Amino acid sequence: MNILIVKLSAIGDVIHTLPALNAVRKQYPDAHITWLVEEATYSVIKGHKALDRIIVSRRKRWLKGLAGRFCVKNFREACGFIKQLRDTNYDIILDFQALLKSGVLIELARGGRKIGFDKGMDHQEHSYIFLNERIKPVDMEVHALTRGMMLLESIGIKSRETVFNVPISEQDRDAANDLLMQHGIKAPKPLVAINPMAKWETKLWDNLKFANLADRLIEQANADVIFTGSREDSKAIEDIISNMKAKASNLAGRTDLKTLAALYEKTSIVVSTDTGPMHLAAAIGTPVVALFGPTAPWRTGPFGPGHKIIRADMECSPCFKRQCKTIDCMKQITVDQVFEAAMSAILLPH
């Protein structure tokens, strides 16, 4: 049996689909399972033991490159990708993305059963028109991970477990160890990771508050504090650190996703805004203190026990807006709230 899983992006969404992958593998232990994913999230699933093959879409790069000097090269790569997508006749194709970009690729893929949710769910972009088995839509207020498992249950694949099995290699762990050693960080102090940035302006917390929080964790919990993020986040994190009294390490842009996961394995807690690394930490079992404002933690919060959600009790939240004149939902979160949640998580046995 050949099975194709379609979940292209983003980091958190791909992580939320890992339990579904493991459930499919458990149901069909001898199947050949392929995952169709976009380039930016490829490393999350690279090396996963439940997968036989990964097909990588470089859609954004190809579209951008079609107007440049390497247009012929990009066009050929895109054609090669389509050929790769169509080289197998799949018995089952599962659409976990439910967007137009996934629907078009499912239409191009060769398969007997093309399965996904029917119309009636937010943000679908009419993706259901490309399916030949349409599952009754489920409530969007249900967590994204659970919605994916409900899709499987509708076709007879049931699982009582939530298993991620994020593939972290010893090489990833060695890289994480080397990075910590370069910054003079070693046991037995508690290690706290703060992931302060996010792509949405409305998800951001005040830099001075992050600085205050980090100082208090260093002083009162005797913790080492590291800041994580992308290369683009480094400048903002330097601003946070410049407002601190104590010393912290800026590791933004110094890790790929797997090294970041290996770092989070070593931390007592991760304090994070609502963004991909938050889900990565939760998936490997590290307690998360998550700051939520415009989004809904019951839909896309860190999944599993032991995590703490900090949010202001405002009527307008969640609004799911990327821009806001006041961003009061984040401004009303206090340092005391986050610090107390972080301390209680640090003191828990892990």
- 171-347: same fold as 2-153? yes
Domain spans, the chain:
2-153, 171-347
Determine the topology of domain 2-153 in CATH: Rossmann fold (3.40.50)
Strands (E), the chain: 2-6, 32-38, 53-57, 89-95, 110-117, 133-135, 191-195, 224-227, 249-250, 269-273, 288-291, 308-310
* Residue 19 CB coordination number (10 Å): 22
Q: What is the dihedral of CA 84, 90, 92, 97, to 10 degrees?
A: 10
Contacts of 305 (CB under 8 A, 6+ apart): none
- Measured CA to CA, the distance from residue 275 to residue 222 in angstroms comes to 27
Cα-to-chain-centroid distance, residue 14: 6
Per-residue pLDDT of the chain (350 residues; tens, 9 = 90+): 999 999 999 999 999 999 999 999 999 999 999 999 999 999 999 999 999 999 999 988 887 777 777 788 888 999 999 999 999 999 999 999 999 999 999 999 999 999 999 998 877 788 999 999 999 999 999 999 999 999 999 999 999 899 999 999 999 999 999 999 999 998 888 999 999 999 999 999 999 999 999 999 999 999 999 999 999 999 999 999 999 999 999 999 999 999 999 999 999 999 999 999 999 999 999 999 999 999 999 999 999 999 999 999 899 999 999 999 999 999 999 999 999 999 998 876 65
Is residue 135 helix, strand or coil? strand
* CA angle at 38 for the pair 32 and 42, rounded to the nearest 5°: 65
CATH number of 171-347: 3.40.50.2000
